[in-house]
Amino acid sequence: MIEIHNLSKVYNTKKGQVKGVDDVSISILEGEIFGIVGYSGAGKSSLLRCINLLERPTTGQITVNGTDLTSLKGERLRLARLKIGMIFQHFYLISQKTVFENVSFSLKAAKFPANKMKERVEELLEMVGLADKRDVYPSQLSGGQKQRVAIARALANNPAVLLCDEATSALDPTTTKSILRLLKKINDELNITIVLITHEMNVVKEICNRMAIMQDGRVIEQGSVYDIFASPETDLTKEFIESVVSFDVPDIILHRCDGPIVKVTFKGEVAGEGVISDTLQQFNVKGNFLHGSIEYIQEMPLGIFIMELRGQEKEVQSALQYIKERAAQVEVVRDGL
Residue 32 has pLDDT above 70, yes or no: yes
Give residue 289's pLDDT band: very low, low, confident or very high (50, 70, 90).
confident
Q: What CA dihedral angle connects 287, 292, 297 and 301, to 10 degrees? A: 30
Domain ranges of the chain: 2-236, 251-334
pLDDT beyond 90 at 297:
no
Pairwise CA distance, residues 103 & 97, whole Å: 9
Residue from 197, 178, 255, 206 nearest 26 by CA: 197
Distance CA 111, CA 114 (A): 8
Fold of 251-334: Alpha-Beta Plaits (3.30.70)
How far apart, in whole angstroms, are the C-alpha atoms of residue 133 and residue 82? 25
- Better-predicted residue by pLDDT, 294 or 213: 213
Which pLDDT tens digit goes with each residue over 211-230?
A: 999 999 999 999 999 999 88
Tell me, what's the pLDDT at 336? 63
The residue-averaged pLDDT of 272-294 equals 80
pLDDT at 79 over 90: no
Pick the CATH number of 2-236 from 3.90.1300.10, 3.10.129.10, 3.90.1150.10, 3.40.50.300: 3.40.50.300
What global pTM score does this model have? Answer: 0.87
Give the pLDDT of residue 330. 82
Residue ranges of alpha helices (H) inside 222-309 are 225-230, 235-242, 251-254, 275-282
Give the residue-averaged pLDDT of 154-183.
92
Tell me which of 2-16, 182-196, 214-228, 260-274 is least confident: 260-274
Say yes or no to pLDDT of 271 above 80. no
251-334 matches 2-236 in CATH topology: no
- Banded pLDDT at 337 (limits 50, 70, 90): low
Distances in whole angstroms, Cα of residue 96 to Cα of each of 31, 123, 136, 311: 35, 22, 10, 73
Residue 137 has pLDDT above 90, yes or no: yes
Measure the CA–CA gap between 39 and 220, rounded to whole angstroms.
13
pLDDT band, residue 242 (cuts 50/70/90): confident
**What is the rounded distance in angstroms from the CA atom of residue 167 to the CA atom of residue 165?**
5
Q: What is the pLDDT of residue 273?
A: 61
Mean predicted lDDT score pLDDT of the chain: 88
At 333 the pLDDT is 77
Residue 76: CA count within 13 A, CB half-sphere: 7
> Are 276 and 73 in contact, with CB atoms under 8 Å apart?
no
- Host H or E run for residue 122: helix 117-127
CA dihedral 83, 84, 87, 92 (to 10 degrees): -70
Asked which of 116-130, 219-233, 266-280 is least confident by mean pLDDT, the reply is: 266-280
